[in-house]
A and B are shown apart, each in its own frame.
Chain A
Amino acid sequence: MSSRTVWRSFQTHARRRLIVPETPYRCFSCTRRAQEPPKSSHDDRMTHFGFQNVPESQKESMVGAVFSSVASSYDVMNDMMSLGIHRLWKDHFVRSLNPGSALPSRDHDTAGRGWNILDIAGGTGDIAFRMLDHATNINHDLETRVTIADINPDMLAEGQKRSVQTPYYNTNRLSFMQGNAQELPSIPDNSVDLYTVVFGIRNFTDKQAALNEAFRVLKPGGVFACMEFSKVDNSLFNAVYKQWSFSAIPMIGQLVAGDRESYQYLVESIEQFPTQEQFRGMIQKAGFMIPGRGYENLTGGIAAIHKGIKPLSRA
């Protein structure tokens, strides 16, 4: 019975694909081919785009195309790819950060009221809404506010659409901005308490530049927290996981979102992302202090939470 429902939903998806006029670049689920890079001169710096090497100048637009393509089916796809586990990860991430001040601020406290949270690459608002919920319901903090920044207007539009359903719609606790995480000129130095980037940093063209920018905007004592796909530490589990990610995920992408190439890119970009230790080194290089081991593996290392704290400047 339930399998019939699922089958019907596949069919509806397929039917809808036929009716809805497609944007030019995704007519035959050919995101990557449509964006085929023209042959460029050899002195251009190269970077990864999945398993391909592309000029740095083009990665941004190519990633943009991928996410424009998956924006509408983002949550359904995440559920199917991770079997729903991504929700547990996100809940755990937010709970461990414990956003919001449970204690009333005292007279001599220098920090302002509530936290100023910047959620980078959080277009659909997954993390932002969870953090606001946690601050409000657990810590009874009505001051904490989140700015969602994303480079992709389609993902932001998806988040704005969803924010209508939340109690934070049209309040000063939630705001959206379009921007590139490697350069955030609209955000002043030392202004952010908590900087989060969840499943986003692997798509950045220059990760170190983004980390340096995070260091700039954070207040001294502020926290950089990042959740990203990482390396599985158990070789047996790794074999199963690789099998799943390289055969099942692109197929699910094709069936559900009608877009194999974008999901092929997702799994390839996961493969290209540095290991836990390498990424911790990058965070340290940006100037952050590392608490404890510096990262926490989730589900055997499929994803990992990295944290860094900006030290107080000693005058």
Chain B
Amino acid sequence: MTRPQPLLSLSRRYLTTITTPRTSTITTTTTCLLRSPQPQPQSRLRTITPRIRAYHSIHHPSPSHPYTNSQTTILSAALHHVPTHGFTRNALTLGARDAGFLDVSVQLFPRAEFDLILFYLASRRGLLRSKVDNDNLLQSAQPQSVDDKIKVLIMERLRMNAEVKEKWVYALAIMSLGENIPMSLSELYALSDDILTLAGDASVDASWYSKRVTIAAVYASSEFMMTLDTSAGLRDTEEFLGRRLAEVGAVGDKLSGVKQCLGFMGTTAVGLGKSWGLKI
């Protein structure tokens, strides 16, 4: 579908995070204007251009990611060794050697392998964002619904794992260790939040939460599926993902049906009571 992005194409610029959902261009630009310390006429003109742009473009420096320069250098170098060595200390050590550090320098990473995994996840997420922003991943001839875009984004994110598919089970095992669960979950949340934001979801009610939970669950299960997938081009995973999303839609339909039914029965009961003379 899209060309595979090699591991080499990593850099720090993918590591920024979106803090506020970009619901619409207008809110974005107004916030920019409100928060900019010294609004200059020229820059105001530029901000109002009706083009969707990253929230953190000029006036809001993106929140700095937690890695220092040396850490980023070593981690980026270590990712080259992941397809052969997996998410292990060995990959980190080789990365450190490639970056001109010593074997002992992996002490820079108190969480060892887990730091490598977190870096991988965060950078892939940034890569997904840049594919949408720069490579027009979601542009197509006919207009797509939010659900279609979500499917495209999840599939694109899963394809990024294809290169490390055999090693990913080990990474999942490390992520599920007790002390790593909170960080893994927050990274999963960040991913589902990014996917929904990029797909253009603009819900402002309770479904904001349920959608993020649902996407996270669908993504996590598809990721498991992918580790066992031997079909060409992850075809099985794609079908699996399609079935899961359809199920989510079906559950949503059922729920709204139940809600409608209950509402109908409620109003009927009230009407019936009133007709009997009850003071409701």
Contacts and interface: CB of A to CB of B under 8 A. Distances in A.
Interface stretch (A100-108, A156-164, A233-241): A100-108
B240 interface: no
A312 B94 contact: no
Contacts of A311: 70
A98 B105 contact: no
A99 B110 CA distance: 15
Contacts of A289: 68, 70, 108
Interface in B86-121: 89-90, 93-94, 96-97, 100-111
A103 B70 contact: no
A292 interface: yes
A220 B99 CA distance: 12
Given A98-B89, A111-B102, A312-B70, A225 B97 contact: no
A291 B104 contact: no
Contacts of B108: 289, 291, 309
Contact of A221 (B89, B90, B102, B109): B102
Contacts of A225: 107
Contacts of B105: 221-223, 309
A202 interface: no
Interface in B64-101: 68, 70, 89-90, 93-94, 96-97, 100-101
A287 to B, nearest CB: 13
A103 B107 contact: no
Contacts of B96: 221
6 contacts: A102-B90, A115-B102, A221-B100, A221-B102, A222-B104, A289-B70
Given A101-B103, A221-B105, A222-B102, 7 more contacts: A103-B103, A111-B102, A111-B103, A193-B104, A194-B104, A223-B105, A291-B110
Contacts of B70: 289, 309, 311-312
Given A291-B107, A291-B108, A296-B110, A106 B101 contact: no
Contacts, number: 62
B101 A291 contact: no
A222 B104 CA distance: 6
A103 B101 contact: no
Interface residues of A, number: 28
Contacts of A223: 104-105, 107
Contacts of B89: 98, 102
Q: How large is the interface on B (under 10, 10 to 19, 20 to 34, 35 or more residues)?
A: 20 to 34
A109 interface: yes
B93 A103 contact: yes
Interface in A208-257: 219-223, 225
A225 B107 CA distance: 9
Nearest to B96: A221
Contacts of B97: 106, 109, 111
Contacts of A293: 110
Contact of A103 (B68, B94, B111): B94
Which 5 pairs between the two chains have the least Cβ-Cβ distance?
A: A221-B101, A221-B102, A221-B105, A292-B110, A223-B107
A177 interface: no
A26 interface: no
A200 B101 CA distance: 28
Contact of B103 (A115, A307, A309, A312): A115
Contact of B109 (A106, A194, A291, A296): A291
Nearest to A310: B105
A111 B104 CA distance: 11
A110 interface: yes
A193 B110 contact: no
A263 to B, nearest CB: 33
Nearest to A97: B107
A292 B110 CA distance: 7
A42 to B, nearest CB: 44
A46 B153 CA distance: 66
A106 B98 CA distance: 10
Contacts of A97: 104, 107
Nearest to B108: A291
